[in-house]
Amino acid sequence: SLTAGVVAVQGDVEEHAAAIERAVSAHGREVTVHEIRESGLVPECDLLAMPGGESTTISRFVQSEGIAPELRDHVGANKPLFVTCAGLIVASSDANDDRVEELDLVDVTIERNAFGRQKDSFEAPLAVDGLADDEPYPAVFIRAPAIDDVGETVEVLASWNGRPVAVRDGPVVGTAFHPELTLDSRIHELAFFENKDASVPALEHV
Ligand code: GLN
């Protein structure tokens, strides 16, 4: 059985845990999901998610609890990490905000609340590269960041209004929107099982 962790400061923790369970069972596997509120659990995890919420709060928490270096080690070991919305802001290399201490796990420059002049929340059918089929993904944006600039190692998986909103940088997949809020688990599956630069332990045959 796989072990997963969801960074559980705030935001859609239960929704991510449920989405992880759907994605893992779609791949015929089983999973135990831990809520990460302290250091020591991340090293046990095969795969991780860091949800949305408020990026300054999440940043402060992962730093003060000593979780930040564990997240870096996880990615350094090519284990999959999926970051959404505020999670992407915290994992970025430049959040454009002094109150966020970036983890520098995804080489992107962020503009927080970039879609603010539109309705605060909206849903858009997105073409996302690398999904199991060509069906547009129902992407839910909530006070979402946009990506201004991407580094050389970053693959843009989807854009909205001409701006990247889903990216992959090695074992890390990040979205500005919230795949945990729909029952469509294709992006969780992409992040955990269909990323050529990330791996989870193979099924043991007994
Ligand atoms: N607006 C939030 C921030 O900038 C992110 C919103 C979200 O995670 N839904 O931190």
Cβ of residue 53 lying under 6 Å from some atom of ligand 1 = yes
Long-range contacts of 16-22 (CB under 8 A, 24+ apart): 16/49, 16/51, 16/84, 16/180, 18/180, 19/49, 19/179, 19/180, 19/185, 19/188, 20/47, 20/49, 20/188, 20/192, 22/183, 22/185, 22/188
Q: Which domains does the chain have, with CATH numbers?
A: 2-193 (3.40.50.880)
On the CB side of 130, CA atoms within 13 Å amount to: 18
Q: What is the pLDDT of residue 118?
A: 56
Helix (H, G, I), strand (E, B) or coil at 97: coil
ipTM: 0.94
Distance 31 CA to ligand 1 centre (A): 28
Cβ of residue 176 lying under 6 Å from some atom of ligand 1 = no
Has 178 been annotated as catalytic? yes
Distance 40 CA to ligand 1 centre (A): 26
Instruction: Give CA–CA dist 198/47, Å, rounded.
Output: 9
Tokens representing 174 are 């990040």
Cα dihedral 144, 146, 151, 153 sign? positive
Cβ of residue 90 lying under 6 Å from some atom of ligand 1 = no
Atom 4, ligand 1: residue with shortest CA distance: 112
Helix (H, G, I), strand (E, B) or coil at 35: strand
Cβ 166 vs Cβ 106: under 8 Å: no
Pocket test for ligand 1, best of 55, 123, 165 (most atoms within 8 A of CB): 55
Pick from 79, 92, 69, 28: which is nearest to 49 by CA?
Answer: 79
Q: Which atom of ligand 1 is nearest to the CA of 100?
A: 10
pLDDT, tens digit, 9 for 90 and up, residues 119-157: 689 999 999 999 989 999 999 999 999 999 999 999 999
Atom 5, ligand 1: residue with shortest CA distance: 86
pLDDT, tens digit, 9 for 90 and up, residues 99-127: 999 999 999 999 999 986 656 899 999 99
Residue 193 identity: F
**pTM value?**
0.96
